[in-house]
Amino acid sequence: RHRRKRTDVIYLAVPVSATPAADSVNALDDTEPTEDQPETEGDEIPEIDMQINIETQSMDRFFAEMIQYRMHEKLPRDRKRAQAIMQQSDFYQIEGVELVRLAKFHRKGQEELAMLQKQRCAPPHLRLEIMKNMQDYLAHSSVEKMYYICRKRYFWKEMYSDIVAYVRSCETCLK
């Protein structure tokens, strides 16, 4: 029986007044991998050239609600959704023309600020392209490796299940 290795993400709430410090966030690519995090192929993960901005991110209902709250302090009318937006809003910031999510990936021996990682909030219509490009870059490797690499740069709800479905339907991987 195969068990998926658990990869923890610890979230750090960053007040809006503290966002200039987030600009000094370093990518995790230049640190040594731990036993929980596999090494990546090559030195640098290629950035996928795509238009991610507030307009395209607003196609996702959650991102649209978060953008409205972060920019205009407007909450959804539904009480549960409004509460969820307020609870999670510290993990998001508007940077330039896009919404980014701040996550803290646990790495031993690293300072708190250095562990912050900005994840681009991927709009629905670009998720398939992101998965295709990552799968090609990783030479059609495992679900876990693809998820680990994708989550370093991008975020969307249910990313892992989307990656599992994509890899299972990949014709190259099925051969």
Cα(141)–Cα(27) distance, integer angstroms: 22
DSSP structural state of residue 96: T
DSSP structural state of residue 115: G
% of the chain beyond a pLDDT of 70: 65
3-state DSSP of 67-91:
HHHHHHCCCCCCHHHHHHHHHHHHH
Closest by alpha carbon to 67, among 51, 48, 49, 88?
88
Q: Please give the distance of CA 137 from its chain centroid, rounded to a whole number.
A: 18
The 3-state DSSP class for residue 143 equals helix
Please report, in tens digits, the pLDDT of each residue of the chain (175 residues total): 445 444 444 434 434 333 333 333 333 333 333 434 444 444 355 566 568 889 999 999 999 999 999 999 999 999 999 999 999 999 999 999 999 999 887 666 666 555 678 999 999 999 999 999 888 888 888 899 999 889 989 999 999 999 999 988 888 777 6
pTM of the model: 0.67
Cα(79)–Cα(137) distance, integer angstroms: 42
Cα(18)–Cα(63) distance, integer angstroms: 21
| Cβ-contact 100, 92 below 8 angstroms | yes
Cα(166)–Cα(135) distance, integer angstroms: 9
